[in-house]
């Protein structure tokens, strides 16, 4: 998709290129509801549009959303590819057992902020901090820890199952001491 088409879709949803996917989706929902005939709070300006024109606008809003959804997905894939290339080129230390300190060290070698991992993975920052510090008493139930570790490992392009197994092995040893 060329830049002009993209700009048209961004304009249709009244957003800019630096808008996050969530903000784009919220704008889409807002505009779709605004131009919907089912909306009880339709402004006089929108009420003055013919049903045909209103349907056309809703169709354009839907098209813009679906095209931008593809754009954001492609952008996400490109970011993952770029990150993997960066990881492959960097000198990431290897660890026999990966615990919190190892995750932190790998992340720092890669030059990735913990806030970025939190944002991209959806894992709350406080849990990532506690994972790195191995503050097991402050972590949520195991099922959540496993999910958080998999997402964290994925952001670092590590084997998520090894990270989970190693981390739980360390946690078990800590709790048994």
Sequential DSSP letters for 2-26? -HHHHHHHHHHTT--TT--HHHHHH
Whether 39 shows a pLDDT value over 60: the answer reads no
pLDDT at position 95: 87
Q: What secondary structure does DSSP assign to 116-169, as a single string?
A: HHHHHH---HHHHHHHHTT-GGGS--HHHHHHHHHHHHHHTT--HHHHHHHHHH
For 55-73, the pLDDT digits (tens) are 899 999 999 999 999 998 8
- Rounded CA separation 73/116 (Å): 18
Residue bearing tokens 């290339």 = 85
- Rounded CA separation 118/18 (Å): 19
For 81-125, the pLDDT digits (tens) are 777 676 666 667 788 999 999 999 999 988 889 998 998 899 999
This prediction has a pTM of: 0.54
- Rounded CA separation 141/101 (Å): 21
């Amino acid at each position: 998709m060329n830049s002009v088409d993209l700009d048209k879709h961004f304009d249709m949803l009244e957003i800019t290129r630096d808008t996050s996917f969530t903000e784009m989706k919220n704008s889409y929902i807002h505009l779709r509801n605004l131009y919907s005939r089912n909306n009880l709070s339709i402004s006089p300006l929108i009420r003055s549009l013919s049903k045909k024109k209103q349907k056309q606008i809703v169709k354009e809003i839907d098209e813009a959303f679906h095209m931008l959804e593809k754009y954001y997905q492609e952008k996400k894939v490109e970011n993952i590819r770029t990150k993997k290339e960066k990881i492959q080129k960097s000198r990431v230390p290897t660890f026999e057992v990966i615990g919190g300190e190892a995750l932190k060290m790998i992340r720092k070698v890669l030059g990735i902020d913990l806030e970025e991992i939190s944002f991209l993975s959806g894992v709350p920052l406080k849990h990532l901090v506690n994972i790195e510090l191995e503050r097991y008493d402050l972590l949520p139930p195991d099922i959540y820890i496993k999910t958080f570790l998999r997402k964290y490992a994925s952001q670092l392009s590590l084997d998520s199952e090894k990270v989970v197994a190693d981390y739980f092995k360390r946690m078990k040893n800590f709790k048994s001491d």
